[in-house]
Amino acid sequence: MPVTEFANVKVEKRDRIATVTLDRPEAINSLNLTMLLDLEKVLLNIETDEDIDVMILTASGEKGFCAGMDLKDFEQGKIDLALTKRVLDKIEDFTKPTIGAITDGYCVTGGLELALSCDFLVASAKAKFGDTHGRVNVSGGGATVRMPRLVGLMQAKYMIFTCQFYDAEAAKELGLVVEVFPSEQLQIEARRIATEILKQNQKILRRMKQVMNRGWRTDLYAAWCLEEAECLKSMQEILSANFKMEDAVKTTKADLDSGSA
Neighbours of 190 (CB within 10 A): 25
CA geometry: angle 49, 55, 59, nearest 5 deg: 125
- DSSP single-letter state for residue 8: S
Please state whether beta strands 17-22 and 64-66 pair in parallel, antiparallel, or not at all (unpaired): unpaired
Note the pLDDT of residue 257. Answer: 63
What is the rounded end-to-end Cα distance, in angstroms, of the chain? Answer: 31
Note the pLDDT of residue 73. Answer: 80
> How far is residue 37's CA from residue 137's CA, in Å, rounded to a whole number?
22
Collect all residues with Cβ–Cβ distance below 8 Å to 87 and sequence separation of at least 6.
36, 39, 40, 43, 114
> How far is residue 15's CA from residue 1's CA, in Å, rounded to a whole number?
9
Note the pLDDT of residue 218. Answer: 84
Q: Flag residues of the chain having pLDDT under 50.
A: none
Check residue 141 and give left, alpha or beta (phi > 0: left; psi -120 to 50: alpha): alpha
- Strand-pairing partners, residue 11, are 4, 20
Note the pLDDT of residue 142. Answer: 82
Collect all residues with Cβ–Cβ distance below 8 Å to 118 and sequence separation of at least 6.
57, 91, 92, 98, 99, 100
- Strand-pairing partners, residue 9, are 22
What percent of the chain lies above the pLDDT cut of 70?
Answer: 91
Note the pLDDT of residue 252. Answer: 55
> How far is residue 26's CA from residue 69's CA, in Å, rounded to a whole number?
14
> How far is residue 45's CA from residue 222's CA, in Å, rounded to a whole number?
33
Note the pLDDT of residue 1. Answer: 58
Cα 232 to Cα 43, 106, 202, 208, 238, distances in angstroms: 31, 44, 18, 13, 10
Please state whether beta strands 54-59 and 105-108 pair in parallel, antiparallel, or not at all (unpaired): unpaired
> How far is residue 26's CA from residue 30's CA, in Å, rounded to a whole number?
9
What percent of the chain lies above the pLDDT cut of 90?
Answer: 65
Enter the pTM of the model: 0.89
pLDDT by residue (tens digit) across 39-97? 999 999 999 999 999 999 999 999 999 999 888 887 777 778 889 999 999 999 999 99
Collect all residues with Cβ–Cβ distance below 8 Å to 112 and sequence separation of at least 6.
66, 68, 129, 130, 131, 143, 147
